[in-house]
Structure 1
Amino acid sequence: MDTSGVPNAPNTGTSRTFKFDLDDTCCLKSNPSLTGIVVVWLPLIALVNLASLTYTAREHILILTWQSQVNPSGPPEDYLVVSYTSVPQDVLTDFLQTGVPRKGYVFVEFDWFSQGYSLIHEDDLELLDRYIDFGSHVKRNSDDTLYGTVINASATCTLEPIAYRNYDDSLGEYGSVEFNERLMPRSRTRPEAGSSRPLPLHNVPLSELMHHQQFREDDLIIYRQKLGVIRQVDRDAILRVSNVPVSLVDPNALEVPCIFDDKELIWMPTGQPCRIVDANLQYLEHDFVIPGQYVCTKYKNMRGINGGVVPKEDICSFGHGQVLSTPATEYKVEWLCTNVFGLGTLEISDKIETLRAPVLERDAVKCDFGNLPTEGTVKSDVCLHIGEMVRFRDPKSAFQKYLYQHIPLGETFGYDMNIFQITSKKTALTVKWSDGSVTTEDIKSLCVSTGIDENIWPGSIVVLKDGIEIIDLPASERIPAYIKQLPKHRRHGRSTIRARIVGIVQAVDIREQIATVQWYKDPDVVLLHGGQILAYPYSSLGELSDTVSQVSLYELDVFPCLERLHGDIVLLAPDTIHESALMKGKLNTYNVAGPCTYSYTSSLSLSQVHAYLDAMSISMLDAEWFKSTTTIDTTPLPPRHSYHYQRKLNKKPTADFVGQIIAIETNGDITVRLAATGACRDIRVPFEKIMMVINVGFSSSAGIPAPGDLSTMSMNTTYEDEEGSSIGDEDEWETDEPDEIPDTNTANDYIVPESTEADCFTEADIDTGNGDSRLEMRENSDDVAEQSEEMTLPPEFLILEGIPPSDHHFISKHEARGSVLRTRCIQKELDILSESLPPGIFVRAWESRMDLLRVLFIGPEGTPYEYAPIVLDLHLPGDFPKKPPEAFFHSWISGQGRINPNLYEDGKICLSILGTWPTQNPEETWSATKSTVLQVLVSIMGLVLVKAPFYNEAGYEALAAEGDRQVESNKYTERTFLTTRRYIKYALDHPVSGMEDIVTWNYLPSRVRSIDCDRPLLLRRAIDAALAMIDHHDNSSTGEERRASAFVSRLSLGAVVMLRKYITELEVLEVAATV
């Protein structure tokens, strides 16, 4: 894409007040040469304190390991913490104890190990660069309603050589090689008299540079028809000591010098080998070094190379020198997938393989998509950062262009020291915004968009929900077992879906939640496994029609197998294949292999992934698009039984089956940059040619969970009484009186629904059924749903006769043989519930299974849950009350997204009192002596079913207090409100077992009006409230002070479209109830 004519961003005349993001590159204002990146303290687990983090990308580091301790006791082992600026002692002490910077401070990792880490106030730092990748989704600020995709990244930088030679005018020649003092011990090294440092190189395009190492960790490589990621590199180190090249017996026994004064050193890493030379100079062992770096090691650890002789010194004394090279000795590679169209016999190994460096470096191709094709215009100059060491891709051309001082190999014992350090960088990003406009922006003026629901972009292929149907396809007994074990889709399980209304998004209006879509003429798209797999050869998008319409975002669905994004690494069917690949045979059964994402198949072994891709390739061979876009190579192969058969086939490694998407047009065209042994090549490919999106596996941070994707964690908790003793038998159990409900903040903060029935009945109206017991019982008969006209207000708590319903989530769990203690505890819990349930919470238990409960919440007014029925199942486990209850949330409208960050679509409930979310505050965890089931229910009502559920995400509390991310919060609330309207319809269409009378009484009108009490008529109230919100939208403008409701200031147009549909459905139910 040619971006030369793209306009710059408009100058608004206002400066953006920003906060530092994770991975931001910054420098000290007082010492600009000291650069580093903003990081997070990795052992940080204190979720309740994450809100005090100043990074807007805090959500990416919520939890890094579930099993870590909650309260870190002092600084972690691997951090060298120093002080460069003045930080109040209480701020520093608090940080060292908790690992959480106070507001206004960030934790910075500087470029060199000897420079350490430091806690620094934001005002003492200057932002130099930002980590925004090609294809990233960005905003100008976190509350902007306009978001975009980075479609081009062009950067220039300033370079400093790590080595140079001074010119001697008297001799008329250059002297010996010297090294840049940046790599020397800071404040100890001074340039020699008469020496002159070489001038830096300015305005060097990043596209002309590459990393100084041929291969490194996280590189994507192609090796013998396999695609993999380098996970670990073992390296040697070559030093220049006394002008002699030496290698090391033990590369890990290197030391780097660190200079501190007493006020500068805050914390030395625990267990760090350290050699103190004097009061201010210490040498620390460190095994990660780079060319040009000043290091030392014992002479006995050296051995001469290339004819060099180690200086004759005391073998136990230390020699000093510079690193000349760090050659790799071994690579550990994780294999992802294979080229099933390749020639020869494919070597299928384990997913993790160790390869000797000479073998890999000889035969592997690095997927270097920054190596631009000569005709390429799209750049992705974001892979190299300030502080990194680089080389020129074309040293000869660079020498002629920049006239820098080239160091001959003979001056450095054959090791290439023409390496440069990036000291500054300026990046311009071309952004295609959601409204279709394109601008060029300075990278520092943007931030990464972390919106939870922003998955529809210009160029996205979308499906109209009303055009989706679930179909049955012929079952096959020959489907491999591993296919059946692939995970279910979170929305549609393993259903087979046919989509007949499919289109491409042209533009998106986020404020109004409207997308402009151009539709395909006659698409017939079959999706397997709930939308994870595009079925071959049964699917066809067809041609785009001229029909363009505006559609509510809530009416559209996006499936993983249809998603293609800028920057995606993709596996392709090559444009040229050998004729031998056509002899794969035919599939005799229904094919279950088709385009998907790598993450979907990541649980499979490499041989299983290969079998999956091979089945897909067979189904592609007869497709018309495949025949029209593929060239057949008829070159004769070497004799199959030849000794050198495989070697000849691998002699010229092919890489044309892997590429990166660099352009997605709104007409459906996709441009892919192919990997190659030299410069890359850009090609246009049909949608169907992309076999797999390789969406995981590159960086080490890929495993960090995003918000909304954190699984329920197991927590090993020891329960103690108030004296600190473990609770182990019945004699140690202390019971409270029934009326002594624990005094917690959750019990005081919940919102009580304003139901009308509260004033319409007395205790005499309720049939207790047993005058000697506070607990009420009723037979769980099948005709509960058919309420008589004389039905009265159902009790909030009731024990039913019979067995629990079959749809109770925990019905399959066998009831534990109860001890006297457990039985007494359960009875006590039921007593409390029978007396103390607040309005809006209904509980049912069963006489045959007292360990099972079902709870119905009526959503509190003034929240997006208002009038909606929320149903939970509870199980009191065998070790109750030592362990908290198990809970399951019935997410009836699967596939519409969560209605709360704490309520998962698979039924998980993340709450500290349930032991499913870690917390630093022990008062928030389950206590065997203090906590009750009532406390759990009140916590859910008061802390989960709230006005602004977006801020329930861990660490977002401070955002709510500061009003940050308000746009995302409003969107989340609006979507939750729409989804919970469907909960009302579902509960009325599908009677909730054990709760039928509660739903009928609270929602539906009575056929005969009672003279004693009117029903709440929540169905009518929900309809009226929705109509009022629509009327507000139609008769008000954005920014008007009058609000649509207590939780939504104004509905979007997209929400109004959907709400009208839901109102119609609810009114039909209301009419049917009165007939």
Structure 2
Amino acid sequence: MDDDSNENPDTTPPEESTDRERQATWFERWLAQLFEDRFLWPPHLDDASTEATPSRHERPPPPSALYTYARHVPYFSAASTVAAMDGEQVPFCVEDSVGLKDDKFMVGVVDRTFGDVDSHEPRPQRDYGEDIERHRDVPKEDFGAFMKTGIPPRGTVLVSWQSELKTELIPEAQLKLLDRALYVGDVVKRSAKDHISGTVIGSRAVCTLLPLSMRDDTQRNPAAADDVSVKAVPAEELLHVHEYNEGALVIYKDWVGKVEQVYDEVAVRLPNNSVVIVETPDDLEPDDPDVDRLSVGDTVRTKKGNLRRGRWKYGAFNPNVQPKGTVVEARTVSLNVHWLARRFISSESVPADHIEPPSDLYTDELESADFHVYDAARGTPTVLPTSPNDIDKSYHVAELAVGDRVKFKDLTAAAVKYDGTRSLPNGYPVGKLKRIPRTETLGYDMNVFLVMQTHTQVTVQWQDLTITEDMSQTLIPDPNVGDDDEVWPGEIVCSVEQRQGHDPTTSWLTEPAKVGVVQSVKSRDRIATVRWFETFNVRFAGEDLIPPVETGRLLDATEDVSLYDIRSTPSLNRRRGDFVLIHPDSALYKINGELASTTNAINWFGEVLDLGLDGLITVRLGAALPVIDVRVRIERVTLVYSSDMDNQFDFMPTLDGESIEDDEDSEDDSEFDTDSFNEMWVDMNGEPIGATEDEDWSTEEEDADDDDVSMPDLIPQENIDTSKTTPEAHSDNERKESPLILRNSLPPGIYVRTWESRLDLIRVLMIGPSDTPYEYAPFIIDFYLDSSYPSQAPEAFFHSWTEGNGPVNPNLYEDGKICLSLLGTWHADERNESWSPGKSTLLQVLVSIMGLVLVKEPYYNEAGYDVHRSAPETKLSSALYTERAYFKARAFIAHALAPKLLDKAIVAATSILERSEQGSDEEERDGMNKISLGAVVMLKRQVAKLEALKAKAT
């Protein structure tokens, strides 16, 4: 593909250096210019004369790696990096490593931010053993509100300080951003205002380590940390101190599982040099209240009985010795494992163990040859050829964070390397590793270190296929990563258009007309370049694939398509960092194209490294001996575990920015949601059933000769038609009075119909308000007033006509749910009231839906997003959501076949097309008045459909 074809105005990369000598020492120069360690500042930096300090404004040269298949751009900007490190114009994120500007020894981790809605759990004190502190610059009333809602006030963050063991709500202006936790597979941007985004495809990190045995001393004298810490230690040289950790993936025989709980036996060295394995480790109280799991070097105290009943390794119980000491060993004796999947077997292979292993594994199982801990940091033993998307064996290293306890993989080699004689190119000392001999610790290994700071550099592949290397703190997580219409290179996409000959009676089954692989994306224009498969067999039942699935051979030609004409489905895609099972009899290829030979036992499980532009994915068989990277078709793997699975809960968005789990009893909806009930409202094709004479949509003042009876006029009138008589059998006065109240109180744009035989059923038509993405679109909602009404809210069912392309609004679900506090589906607070018997009415529900749901900027109806309304960093996300909502709402008009609405909708859509095609590229888009090029393509198609419907109706 020609380079010019991938040009995107979203990035303007600097020119690439060609100085090979400078490239050879790039990593060292990176450390010299960008490594700003909180424990690495020599005294002379505080003096007026700093000529000896290397300039931070000299752009470092690019890395030495040359990429063949995509253009590589060394996107280091000294100005942006320094600004990021100073905390200027860079939003703080959860898990960020931060420092206090006026105290270089204060280092901590961000726990909560105003912008991260996932961190806004109420009553935050429940998560901490010690009281949360308030910085003096945070007003008391703001702090009180935070302690209740869990939402940090704008401009503040909650930080857990590692150096003083406290948690504090503090203004962002007091902080300096040191590092950002980004992992392979994360989608990032340089700014929330940027259209283009990229995927992290590689990372490398260096750490500052402090001996855990010296932590207490350095807390009393922070300056002492400079003398005992070791700087610029690559993460690949380190291991977590515990061999088994919660969340780790393990393999036992033919099963893969995830560790849920770890049980350790703990040995404590007492002041008299005796060592005991305590009877009950849970009764040990660490001096650090935030320690979740004890490790070597922790100081603890306990009751004397816990020591007396323990197993003594050295010495014996002495009641005169204080029951406190230092942990010298924490040995795992059992694991609780949640088993995820069993390997696939072919008919020719040896039968696998079909019986699921027990949830609890003990020492015998852990030490057996059948048990393995999957180590994602293991690299291939030799340097393999570069893959089409430029991933090599160094793509993955141990994921370390500030506060982690670690040890060296090779302590002897580390002691030689960090002997105190080495320094960084700028002259700063690296430090000396002071090894603790086992002879001084009764034979126990006490060489455990605390990660005090990290610096991470990530490799990012952008949507236009450029690849850059960036300091992680110069990037932010992409807020639009969950959008249905966002795609990235290597993803498999399906056309929204369905295959010809599709049987309309099998509405549960969908067959896309085209399936292909995204080659690149012009994000500003909302256009993707796709290579389609020549032959394929892909069918869906909802979002699930129907086997067998085949993708076939890719065509040579590419096609530019609108992002609104394609969709990416999770069932047909894998992400970098996903763990998968490889199907038996799959063709496995090394990344250089040769058939891979895997003769060892564990060649069926691995981690996704890369998404190829040819439809193949690269999988690292990390448990194989030796480790090997193979390429395989996407349909030949099955997802076992993804980081997204950690939060698989059924949550719905709420207008008030909060969410609750939908725990309504499904049986309560049985009378309302059955197929037989729905048949009263729509026919088999989804069209409204023809009404009898007394059930037509009408108003009291409408012209009897009006032929357009399928939809009412938009002019405000008496908007309800009820029967002249009410069956005396209905004794519920409230249900009889509801239509009468609505008769005289309905606002413009809302129309109601009732049935004389079923006064417990009400159908409501809402016409989307002008100047919103829902303008002129008809929305139909059915209400059921059961015997509990009005003591309880009515039940509601929303008719969605988006044809499986996602909800038209965050609060209007495709399955008919309406998320509204008045209906009892959300939390109520001071801003959003709940249903109140004797006070709340059906009219309130209708007004709330019209005024709070069908709004101009529906993006902020997402859970927790209301606090970001009008924030500059969310304008682009809001405009993109509005753009999508507008298209989906046009489908409602086409479905309803309403000629008068069609006239208005066609005129409005045509005006948008004219403004979008005539406006300049610099003119800001808002999703309605001016839209992207990809959206223009889609809207023209929809206007043509609307005009065809109008011609057919006339």
Structure 1 length-normalised TM: 0.69
Residue number in structure 2 paired with 1:222 = 251
Contact 1:525–1:534 (CA<8 Å) still a contact in 2?
no
Q: Once the 2 structures are TM-superposed, how far is the Cα of residue 228 of structure 1 from its aligned partner? A: 0.2
* Aligned AA (1:95): F
Residue number in structure 2 paired with 1:512 = 525
Q: CA RMSD in A?
A: 3.9
CA distance in 2, matches of 1:324, 1:693: 37
Alignment of 1:358-397 (within 5 A): 358-362=364-368, 363-374=370-381, 375=383, 376-381=392-397, 383-397=399-413
Q: Once the 2 structures are TM-superposed, how far is the Cα of residue 230 of structure 1 from its aligned partner? A: 0.2
* Aligned AA (1:131): A
Instruction: Show CA shifts across 1:281-307 (max 9, x none).
Output: xxx797732211122223332257575
Alignment of 1:900-939 (within 5 A): 900-921=809-830, 924-939=833-848
Residue number in structure 1 paired with 2:545 = 533
Contact 1:670–1:686 (CA<8 Å) still a contact in 2?
yes
Contact 1:35–1:387 (CA<8 Å) still a contact in 2?
no
Q: Which is worse superposed, 914-923 or 223-232?
A: 914-923
1:298 to 281, 297, 303: 303
Alignment of 1:19-34 (within 5 A): 19-34=91-106
1:142 to 173, 177, 192: 192
* Aligned AA (1:292): G
1:243 to 267, 273, 280: 273
Residue number in structure 2 paired with 1:754 = none
CA distance in 2, matches of 1:816, 1:901: 41
Residue number in structure 2 paired with 1:158 = 208
CA distance in 1, matches of 2:796, 2:99: 49
Contact 2:193–2:874 (CA<8 Å) still a contact in 1?
yes
CA distance in 1, matches of 2:218, 2:300: 9
1:456 to 484, 487, 490: 487
Q: Once the 2 structures are TM-superposed, how far is the Cα of residue 98 of structure 1 from its aligned partner? A: 3.5
Does residue 330 of structure 1 match 2:343? no
2:236 to 180, 192, 207: 207
SS at match of 1:503: strand
2:159 to 102, 105, 108: 108
CA distance in 1, matches of 2:711, 2:543: 45
SS at match of 1:525: coil
CA distance in 2, matches of 1:285, 1:430: 33
Residue number in structure 2 paired with 1:356 = 362
SS at match of 1:1031: helix
Greater RCO between the two (CA within 8 Å, min separation 6)? 1
Residue number in structure 2 paired with 1:831 = 740
Cα distance, 1:243–1:792 mapped onto 2, change above 3 Å:
closer
1:187 to 220, 238, 253: 220
Cα distance, 1:567–1:3 mapped onto 2, change above 3 Å:
farther
Alignment of 1:8-23 (within 5 A): 8-9=74-75, 11=77, 13=79, 15=83, 17-23=89-95
Residue number in structure 1 paired with 2:496 = 465
Residue number in structure 2 paired with 1:999 = none
Does residue 961 of structure 1 match 2:870? yes
Contact 1:367–1:675 (CA<8 Å) still a contact in 2?
yes
Q: Once the 2 structures are TM-superposed, how far is the Cα of residue 901 of structure 1 from its aligned partner? A: 0.8
Q: Once the 2 structures are TM-superposed, how far is the Cα of residue 211 of structure 1 from its aligned partner? A: 0.9
Give 5+ residue unaligned stretches, structure 1.
Answer: 41-53, 65-70, 163-178, 259-283, 474-491, 576-619, 623-627, 634-651, 717-760, 769-782, 804-814, 989-1002, 1005-1016
CA distance in 2, matches of 1:525, 1:560: 17
1:661 to 608, 612, 618: 608
Structure 2 length-normalised TM: 0.78
* Aligned AA (1:976): A
Cα distance, 1:531–1:300 mapped onto 2, change above 3 Å:
closer
* Aligned AA (1:389): R
Instruction: Show CA shifts across 1:707-733 (max 9, x none).
Output: 6997863589xxxxxxxxxxxxxxxxx
* Aligned AA (2:918): N
CA distance in 1, matches of 2:355, 2:523: 47
Contact 1:874–1:886 (CA<8 Å) still a contact in 2?
yes
Alignment of 1:372-771 (within 5 A): 372-374=379-381, 375=383, 376-381=392-397, 383-403=399-419, 404-451=433-480, 452-453=482-483, 455-468=486-499, 495-520=508-533, 522-533=534-545, 535-536=547-548, 539-573=549-583, 654-676=601-623, 680-692=627-639, 694-695=641-642, 699=646, 703=649, 713-714=662-663
Contact 2:802–2:888 (CA<8 Å) still a contact in 1?
yes
CA distance in 2, matches of 1:222, 1:817: 66
Q: Once the 2 structures are TM-superposed, how far is the Cα of residue 8 of structure 1 from its aligned partner? A: 2.4
Instruction: Show CA shifts across 1:996-1025 (max 9, x none).
Output: xxxxxxx42xxxxxxxxxxxx321111111
Give 5+ residue unaligned stretches, structure 2.
Answer: 1-62, 384-391, 420-432, 589-593, 666-697
SS at match of 1:526: coil
CA distance in 1, matches of 2:729, 2:111: 51
SS at match of 1:237: strand
Residue number in structure 2 paired with 1:1048 = 928
Instruction: Show CA shifts across 1:743-791 (max 9, x none).
Output: xxxxxxxxxxxxxxxxxx99665789xxxxxxxxxxxxxx999879999
Contact 1:801–1:846 (CA<8 Å) still a contact in 2?
no
Cα distance, 1:863–1:122 mapped onto 2, change above 3 Å:
same
Residue number in structure 2 paired with 1:798 = 721
SS at match of 2:538: strand
Does residue 289 of structure 1 match 2:294? yes
CA distance in 2, matches of 1:788, 1:130: 55
* Aligned AA (1:797): I
SS at match of 1:326: strand
CA distance in 2, matches of 1:1018, 1:682: 57
Contact 1:231–1:332 (CA<8 Å) still a contact in 2?
yes
SS at match of 2:847: helix
Q: Once the 2 structures are TM-superposed, how far is the Cα of residue 93 of structure 1 from its aligned partner? A: 2.8
Rg larger in structure: 1
Cα distance, 1:444–1:631 mapped onto 2, change above 3 Å:
closer
Q: Once the 2 structures are TM-superposed, how far is the Cα of residue 665 of structure 1 from its aligned partner? A: 2.3
2:111 to 35, 39, 51: 39
Contact 2:700–2:720 (CA<8 Å) still a contact in 1?
no
CA distance in 1, matches of 2:711, 2:311: 97
SS at match of 1:327: strand
Contact 2:660–2:827 (CA<8 Å) still a contact in 1?
no
Matched length: 812
Paired-residue identity, %? 33
Q: Which is worse superposed, 876-885 or 358-367?
A: 358-367
Does residue 840 of structure 1 match 2:840? no
Contact 1:133–1:382 (CA<8 Å) still a contact in 2?
no
Residue number in structure 2 paired with 1:256 = 286
Contact 1:75–1:97 (CA<8 Å) still a contact in 2?
no
Q: Once the 2 structures are TM-superposed, how far is the Cα of residue 551 of structure 1 from its aligned partner? A: 0.3
CA distance in 2, matches of 1:673, 1:802: 73
Contact 2:99–2:177 (CA<8 Å) still a contact in 1?
yes
* Aligned AA (1:563): N
Instruction: Show CA shifts across 1:212-240 (max 9, x none).
Output: 11111000111111000000112221111
Cα distance, 1:697–1:564 mapped onto 2, change above 3 Å:
closer
SS at match of 2:808: coil
Residue number in structure 1 paired with 2:168 = 118
Residue number in structure 2 paired with 1:638 = none
Residue number in structure 1 paired with 2:907 = 1024
Q: Which is worse superposed, 234-243 or 302-311?
A: 302-311
* Aligned AA (1:290): S
Residue number in structure 1 paired with 2:323 = 319
* Aligned AA (1:1039): E
Does residue 55 of structure 1 match 2:121? no
CA distance in 2, matches of 1:922, 1:501: 47
CA distance in 1, matches of 2:574, 2:641: 11
SS at match of 1:969: helix
Instruction: Show CA shifts across 1:77-107 (max 9, x none).
Output: 7541243742433333333344332222222
Residue number in structure 1 paired with 2:41 = none
CA distance in 2, matches of 1:630, 1:509: 36
Q: Once the 2 structures are TM-superposed, how far is the Cα of residue 794 of structure 1 from its aligned partner? A: 8.7
CA distance in 2, matches of 1:510, 1:672: 28
* Aligned AA (2:283): A
* Aligned AA (1:26): V
